[in-house]
Amino acid sequence: MEFDLSPEQEDFRKVMQEFVDSEIRPYAAKWDSESVLPLHIVKKMGHMGLFGLIFPERYGGSGAGFATLCIAIEEIAKADSSVAITLSAGVGLGASPVFHFGSTEQKDTWLPRLCSGEILGAFGLTEPDGGSDAGSTMTKAIRLSDGEWSISGAKAYITNSGTEITKFITVTANTDEGVTAFLVPYGTPGLTIEPAYRKIGWHASDTHGVVLEDVRVPDSAILGTKGKGFAQFLATLDEGRIAIAALALGLIQGCRDESVGYAKTRNAFGGPIGRYQGVAFKCADMDVDVEVVRGLVYKAAWLRDMGRPFKREAAIAKLYSSEAAMRAAKNAVQIFGGAGYMDETPVARYFRDAKILEIGEGTSEVQRVVLARQLGLKS
């Protein structure tokens, strides 16, 4: 069995580490405290080709594969989950639906600009009254006599939905033929972006509600097949779950590294607190989870890149990694003691950022439903 990254991937990891250390880590706390998405960093990531890693060269991508994207997300998340989710959502939720289900015209229109990071796309599945129950879509699309569609409804908790470079949102809506996906350009009359949410964590990530009131779009706005929109979006989420697991992997490593450093330098009772099992064992447990999660993430990414089924492995990776991230963040704050409860410490930010990993891209409960069904059990 081969567990090594390719030489190209190892070189890419080093490039990402240098980028994070110089461009992200020194400023992450400031962006978090100001609740500002650093668009200049998004543009730099675009220039580096990060938004095009999994897409073909004809659209401006590099075709490097999903495992390479996971490396980028992991390295960024060691320092800043908000920037990491901006990349993850930009690729997995913004560009991927267009690539997998878009028409030739839609791909040619949007993908080159998405791959370059010039623009972002948003992904509208979740609704105010339908989170985990994503199948209960209330948004409706009605075919009008002139051949256009009128879409009305609301979407909630949409990442990358309010930036100045966000140019469209794909939304699911009920039609006579079933749930259908539509690509709605920003600026379309009736499309309103609500004020940014005030969140527990991911402060520097852009998140808004979206309202559609008699939004008119042509047939050419349909993304994929009529009546198959829900299935298309679920397929998109399978890839997204691997990316979230990669983000969790980076966060766990951040917690481990901060905790080990503090345990070696914080003195109490006559010496470094790392001498005591109550501290040392917490650090050891984080180190175990780093290795376990790394195996889960990159196995799922490898299966995806090989064109093999990966739904089960994506659910396992997402479930275990998100809960491990919450454990690591909790233990890191405990190791830091009172200092860990202060926003000035990175572990406080990791703690706030970790919780959403058990919710976004399918809650832990939803992952267990997926896995139970894979075992042939009804749930």
Catalytic residues: 361
For the CA atoms of the chain, what is the radius of gyration?
21
Tell me the C-alpha distance between 247 and 333, whole Å: 19
The two structure tokens encoding residue 9: 């991937």
CB 127 within 8 A of CB 211: no
Query: 152-172: buried (b, 16+ CB within 10 Å) or exposed (e) per residue?
Result: bbbbbbbbbbbbebbbbbbbb
| Cα dihedral sign, 38-233-107-241 | positive
Quote the crossing angle between the two packed helices 81-89 and 346-354, to the nearest 10°: 40
Pairing of strands 120-124, 166-175: parallel
Q: What are phi and psi of 100, to 5 degrees?
A: -75, -35
| CA-angle at 57, arms to 54 and 58, nearest 5° | 120
Q: What are phi and psi of 172, to 5 degrees?
A: -95, 140
In the chain, DSSP finds a helix count (H) and a strand count (E) of 12, 10
The two structure tokens encoding residue 160: 């990358």
3-state DSSP assignment of residue 183: strand
> Which of 164, 170, 45 lies closest to 53 in space, CA to CA?
45
The two structure tokens encoding residue 378: 């009804």
Tell me the C-alpha distance between 124 and 184, whole Å: 10
CB 33 within 8 A of CB 203: yes
What is the distance, to the nearest Å, from the Cα of residue 284 to the centroid of all Cα atoms in its chain?
27
Tell me the C-alpha distance between 221 and 244, whole Å: 29
